[in-house]
Amino acid sequence: MLTTTLALTSIAIALAVVAFLAAWRAISASRQDNDRLSILSDAMNRLVDSQASMTGRLAQMSESQIAAQSSAAERLQAQERNVTKMLDERLTEVTRRVGENLMKAGEKTTETLGQLQERLAVIDSAQKNIAELSQDVVSLQDLLSNKQARGAIGQVQMEDLVRNMLPPGAFEFQFTLSNGKRADCVIKLPNPPGLIAVDSKYPHEAYARMISASDDRERVAAQQSFRTDVLKHIKDIAEKYIIPGETSDSAIMFVPAESVFAELHENFSDIVEAGFARRVYVVSPTTLMATLNTVRAILKDARMREQAHLIQREIGELTKDVVRLDKRVGELARHFGQAQTDVKEIQTSTEKIMKRGARIENIPLDASGEAVEVPDLIAPEAEQPRRELLQ
């Protein structure tokens, strides 16, 4: 704004100089002309007055400019203070939020570390259990490598299933047959079928070699060994535990491993068919439970047949009781009918008595106080039963 004022002042001075030069030329052209000199003098005076007025206005404009600049400076300072205050408040809020977020993050981190420590403790415990389980697996492998121990495992498992599924007296363990052979278990059913022998076999070695075979040649050799072992077991059971006239014409071979049972039915169907041909049925723990459940139903049916005559006698006695009850119900119904008839007659007499009472209440009297005869309200045909009831 000050620069503009200086520019206007310079322009005013330049105009004054130009006017003076013009006047000077006019004076030089006609120096003797007094009138023109007077005019020039007047023009110079007016020019001086104008310059003075212009200078005053310029001073006034300069003061206004200074005041405006001062006001603008104050407004800028106020805005600066407002902006500074706003920035301080925003910075304080941001600092507070950052602090809260850091605190929450610290708490969350602490909680996560606590959970991580708990999980690490669980992992350590699981590792200890895995180590113990590994030792147990090694012990189990050592146990399964022993044929006698393996047979004992199958025997114990089979005995537990039989005890849980059949009633006492329906089975016997280590039963000796007439040929001197001892079966692991016999199930006692009525003839037919009679005694059913159950023998436990566990072809673990050949099965383990077959599962762990590293190439086809080793796998084929293990499969042949597995087939040979199972067929030998089936043959031995058929020859030892199926005796015509003493036992049933079939026997059961119990395999205490579901995996071996599944392998037989999936990849060795010829062995299963060979067992069917010799009437030796291979069962697993699950299928033995189903078989024993069927046997239990057969035993229950046999006991019911044994007690059939008792049931028939009880049914006859029950029929007699029903006939007797029907007779007594008939007599009770007849008594109820007679009682109902008596109640109806009592109700009829009660109605007549009520009508007689109403008739007595409505007897009119003449002026002398004597009663006037009123016709009987009761029909003549009903009078005889009423008299009988009163008598």
User: What digits encode the pLDDT tens for the residues 326-339?
Assistant: 888 878 878 877 88
Which range among 106-110, 182-186, 375-379 shows the weakest confidence by mean pLDDT? 375-379
Q: Report, as an integer, the average pLDDT of 182-203.
A: 84
Strands (E), the chain: 171-176, 182-188, 195-200, 251-254, 280-283
Structure-model confidence comparison of residues 64 and 290, the more confident one: 290
pTM of the model: 0.43
What is the model's pLDDT at position 222?
85
**Could you tell me the pLDDT band of residue 122, with boundaries at 50, 70 and 90?**
confident
Beta-strand relationship, 251-254 and 280-283: parallel
Q: Report, as an integer, the average pLDDT of 115-137.
A: 76
Sheet of 280-283, strand order:
171-176, 182-188, 195-200, 251-254, 280-283
- Cα separation, 226 vs 275, in Å, equals 15
- CATH architecture under which domain 150-306 falls: 3-Layer(aba) Sandwich (3.40)
Q: Is residue 385's pLDDT more than 60?
A: no
Max avg pLDDT among 31-45, 147-161, 340-354: 340-354
- Cα separation, 167 vs 187, in Å, equals 11
For 248, left (φ over 0), alpha (ψ -120 to 50), or beta? beta
Map out the domains of the chain as residue ranges. Answer: 2-110, 150-306
